[in-house]
Structure 1
Amino acid sequence: MTRLVLTPERRAQLVELLSDERRLEAEYPQVAEYLNTAPGLAGTGDDEADRAFDFRMLNYMTGGKLTSDNPYWDIVAPAVTTEGGRRVANGGRPQGSARLAYAQTVLQAGYAYAIPSPETIGWAARFCEGKPLIEIGAGRGYWAAQLSYSGLRVDAYDVEPPDRADNESFPRVVGQTDVWHHVGNADEANIRMQNSADSVLFLCWPPGWDNPMASEALTSFERAGGAHLIYVGEPRGGKTANNTFFDALDNRWQLESVDEQFVSWWNLADTAQGWIRRS
């Protein structure tokens, strides 16, 4: 297990923060709640690994962009193993743990539902081949930020940009970054989608359970002449996208690429796929 190496200054900052419980609760309430709750939950069975995970949560979630460009990955990476040919964040246990499940909810609300490993970001950049990328349903713009760091031009949009609107999935929390990349609203998305023929549509965990967002975004993209899609989510019948979206893929699109290095939470079935529209 790779040990987190901190500068003396950063270590002193964390020691000072931990020694002042009231300050921690005031400045980073989500982290304080996690640190109070997690030790009471069943962990991996490896106390050292569990403590190291909690320490990474403390360091990266209180350090923001100053400690890492991809704190989500830096927190999760040491907990990733390979099970059945899939890379999964499970803490070394096929069934994960209650403690890790709690951390999962905190990280998904704080960053994004899907885990953006460096390998997946590289795969997406290669699939785009320099084409600009349009993300619909971007949430905090965390994936948009990671993809932009790879050199892609990324335009991200959400019906409820977390820095300007109340977003139930990505609520504003003291001490937490609202957005990691500029996130436009629905009106701005509609304008951009009218000129998207040369772009790649990116849908990362679009809502499921018959929510029409995924299919409506794909229809708008097709209408504009778009022909390249990256979909990160679960298969038909899962927690993401709707049947109309999957029907469109079956009828008019061809699966071109699957990221074999994608990292999923152990209790999810999401993958990263690149699709090309049939001519």
Structure 2
Amino acid sequence: MAYKRPTMTSARWDEIVALLEDEQRLEVEYPKVAEYLDMASRLSGSGDRDADTAFDLRFVHYMTGGSAVSSNPYWDIVEPFVSEYEGRRVVDGGRAGGNARLAYAQVLLQAAYAYAIPSPQTIEWMSAFCADLPIVEMGAGRGYWAAQLSRSGLTVEAYDVEPPDKTTNVSFPGAAGQVDAWHPVGDLEGFVSRAQTADHVLFLCWPPGWGNKMSSEALTAFEEAGGERLIYIGEPKGGKTGNDAFFDALAARWRLDSVDPHFVSWWTEGDIAQGWVRS
């Protein structure tokens, strides 16, 4: 497979070359990019030098260029490395088992943007499912998904227990050269107040698992307000997202209405995108 370098001006290319040649500046201005490049040189890649070089260039270009070079840098970094495996679209670099360099990049990209990957096709699917209803997202992290949805023309309100631009969030730590919040993210108090009305679609993207009650409590509040449409992006019951009470509530009082067939996941994850309606 031929991997093309990202489209950029000659001036942008010169900027990247100058940045990479000045290691001290790179570490100060973009420490996560410097961290990746340092670690990547020690880890096994795909076995295809051209593919690894192409990924590294996209990582550097979009992570350091920010919104000036892309409105969806996360997707632009990973899109050429998506393949289909057992009926799923996954970022694995063309190899079913992925590779160590890509796995390390995954950790950094999920912390910089979001745990799930917002491909344009998934944003279109969500827009169709929502029809004309606005979206209220709980557990929005940096608001990266909210930003993509807003750009598509949807009305979106985003909330998080720990908005990364206002408090410490261990899942989305601050770092030089990174955006703390891509869309305004309110706190839990704001969500509780908003959840009292149900004129929206509730959106839960990778709600915490391991017994954390956030997903079930958000769903309960939505149900009590009369909510009827839910978008869930995460792993099935027993995975890394949601708690048992959340999945039990879905099974008892909700009906699966739509599944995004084009959803893109990291090969290491089992997340899916589902649209649910009240039974």
User: Fold-level match, TM-score > 0.5?
Assistant: yes
Partner of 2:243: 242
Q: Classify the secondary structure of the residue corresponding to 1:93.
A: coil
Say if 2:136 is the partner of 1:134. yes
1:167 and 1:12 mapped to 2: Cα distance?
Answer: 35
TM-score by length of 1: 0.98
Are residue 158 (structure 1) and residue 160 (structure 2) matched? Answer: yes
Which of 123, 142, 150 in structure 2 is aligned with 1:148? 150
Aligned to 1:251: 252
- % same residue: 62
**Aligned counterpart, 1:24:** 26
Q: For the residues of structure 2 that align with 1:117 and 1:136, how far apart are their CA atoms?
A: 20
Task: For 1:83-102, list aligned pairs within 5 A.
Answer: 83-102=85-104
What is the alpha-carbon distance in structure 1 between the residues aligned to residue 6 and residue 74 of structure 2? Answer: 14
Q: How far is the alpha carbon of 1:211 from its aligned partner? A: 0.4
CA shift, 1:5, in A, is 1.8
Q: Distance in 1 between matches of 2:254 and 2:14?
A: 54
Alpha-carbon shift at residue 115 of structure 1 (Å): 0.6
Q: In 1, are the aligned partners of 2:216 and 2:243 still within 8 Å (CA)?
A: yes
| Stretches of 4+ aligned residues off by more than 6 angstroms | none
11-20 or 128-137, which deviates more: 11-20
In structure 1, C-alpha distance between the alignment counterparts of 2:5 and 2:77, rounded to whole Å: 12
Query: How does the TM-score come out when normalised to structure 2?
Result: 0.98
Secondary structure at 1:40's aligned position in 2? coil
Alpha-carbon contact 2:123-2:149 (below 8 Å) kept: yes
Q: Distance in 2 between matches of 1:180 and 1:221?
A: 25
Deviates more, 1:12-21 or 1:73-82: 12-21
Aligned residue-pair number: 277
How far 1:198 moved relative to its partner?
A: 1.7
Q: Partner of 1:52 in structure 2?
A: 54
CA distance in 2, matches of 1:219, 1:2: 47
CA RMSD of aligned residues (A): 0.6
- 2:4 touches 2:54 (CA, 8 Å); kept in 1? no
Shift, 1:3, TM fit: 2.9
The one-letter code of the counterpart of 1:266 is W
Letter aligned with residue 127 of structure 2:
A
Asked if the contact 2:208/2:242 (under 8 Å) is kept, the reply is yes
User: Whole-Å Cα distance in 2 between the matches of residues 259 and 143 of structure 1?
Assistant: 16
Distance apart, 1:40 and its partner CA: 1.2
Output one character per residue of 1:162-204: Cα deviation in whole Å (capped at 9) or x when no partner: 0000000000101100000000011111111112x12000000
How far residue 12 of structure 1 moved from its aligned partner, in angstroms, is 1.1
Whole-Å Cα distance in 1 between the matches of residues 94 and 253 of structure 2? Answer: 40
- Which amino acid in 2 is paired with 1:115? I
Equivalent in the alignment of 1:201: 202
